[in-house]
Amino acid sequence: MSNAGIFVVVEGIDGAGTTTQIERYAAYLRERGRKVHVTREPSTGPIGTFVRDLLTSRRQLPSGPAFDLMALLFAADRLDHVRGEIEPALREGAVVLSDRYDLSSLAYQSVASDLSLPAHEIVGWIRTLNRFARRPDVTVVVDVAPETASKRRRHRGAPEDLYEVDALQNRLAKAYAHAEALVPGDRILHVHGDGDIETVASLLREALAPFIERSPNHAR
Ligand code: TYD
C-alpha cells in the first residue's frame, strides 16, 4: 500500500521509558515541521479500552486473563487500531509513533503463556493472529536492565498492571534483546535505555535519523 508517512514502533519492557521517549521525539519532529501522530497499544478505541481495564483489574474475565485470550484481544484491538487510526494518519503523511505493537504480543503473551507448550508454537500462533497487521517501517527496542525498569516503575508509584511482575519482566528483557527472532524480516533498531532521559532521547534520534530523513515530507 502506498503512503506518504512512516510507521515507527517503539517497544520495551514496562519502565523502559517508551512513553517519555515518544513524547520527546514527537516534539523534536514537530519543531522541525513534521506532521506527527502519537498513538499506543492497547489503543484508545473500544477494544483497547476493554483490554486496559483487564490489565488494571478494573474488569475481569470469568476464566481469567489467560495468554491466549489476551493475545486474541490484543490482535483484534491492533487491526481496529491500524485500520481506523494508523493507516489514515499515514495517508495524511504523518510520522506515526506507536507506543507498542505486535512485538509486545509476541514478547508478553509468549512469556506469560503456559510453559508446557513449546515457545516456537506459541510465537507462531501469535504471528498468525497478527498476519494482517501491516508491518512497521521500523521498530525501536529500548533495552533496559530489568532492575532499572523495576526502580522506575516503583518510582512512578502507579498501581501495577497484570504483567508488571519482576520475574516476568526479567524474561521479557531477554525476549526483547532478541526481538529480531520474534519478527523476522522486520527492521529492528536497539537503543540502550539505561541512561537519563536526554541521553536516551539523543540515542533514539540518532538511530531513527536515517529513516526519518529519507522519508517523504522531510522538512528541508
Ligand atoms: P503500557 O504500554 O506500559 O501502558 P501504561 O503506561 O498505561 O502502563 O501497558 C500496556 C501493557 O500491556 C504492558 O504491560 C504491555 C502489555 N501488552 C501486551 O501484553 N501485549 C500487547 O500486545 C500489548 C500491545 C501490550
Domain edges within the chain: 6-213
Instruction: Tell me the pTM.
Output: 0.95
Surface-to-core class of residue 95, CB atoms within 10 Å of its CB (0-12 exposed, 13-18 middle, 19+ buried) = buried
Residue identifier of the C-alpha nearest atom 22 of ligand 1: 105
Could you identify the residue written with the cell 501469535?
126
Return mean pLDDT, the chain.
94
| Ligand 1 centroid – CA 72 distance (Å) | 14
CB 108 within 8 A of CB 96: no
Surface-to-core class of residue 176, CB atoms within 10 Å of its CB (0-12 exposed, 13-18 middle, 19+ buried) = buried
What pLDDT shows up at residue 1?
44
Query: For the domain 6-213, what is the CATH superfamily, name and number?
Result: P-loop containing nucleotide triphosphate hydrolases (3.40.50.300)
CB 59 within 8 A of CB 73: no
Which of the listed residues 55, 73, 105, 122 should we mutate to test ligand 1's pocket, taking the one with most ligand atoms within 8 A of CB? Answer: 55
pLDDT digits (tens, 9 = 90+) for 110-143: 999 976 889 999 999 999 999 999 999 999 999 9
Closest approach atom of ligand 1 to CA 102: 22
pLDDT digits (tens, 9 = 90+) for 147-178: 999 999 999 988 889 999 999 999 999 999 99
